Amino acid sequence: ALPWRETPLHERTLDSRGNPTDETLALTGLRLLERTAKQNPMHKLTLELPGQAKVWLDKTGAPLLDKLSDKYGQRFTYLASTKPMPSVYQTA
């Protein structure tokens, strides 16, 4: 058998039990937030992430948050949640 040249995608995005990693959930949430921001250019939005995904975002994702703020303005809130998947909603 030949060795892998790169780590297979599923090994980078899923944990050993086949669940999305914290990084995968955080990035999925950020993509959802950006899509929603494009569709609703005047709305303030909140991204809720599973707790550990929020921890990943706080520790590693700061440059990504800065880029989103630069592109769409300071209109996003980021919260930890007990929900298993990211969600975005309009902030009152």
Q: What pLDDT score does 60 carry? A: 95
| For the chain, domain boundaries | 9-90
Q: Higher confidence at residue 11 or residue 43?
A: 43
Residue 37 · residue 72 · CB < 8 Å: yes
Query: Is residue 48 scored above 80 in pLDDT?
Result: yes
- Lookup: tokens for 24: 């995968």
CA quadruple 28, 30, 31, 32: dihedral sign = positive
CATH for 9-90 (3.30.590.20, 3.40.50.620, 3.40.1260.20, 3.40.50.10860): 3.40.1260.20
pTM: 0.86
Residue 23 · residue 61 · CB < 8 Å: no
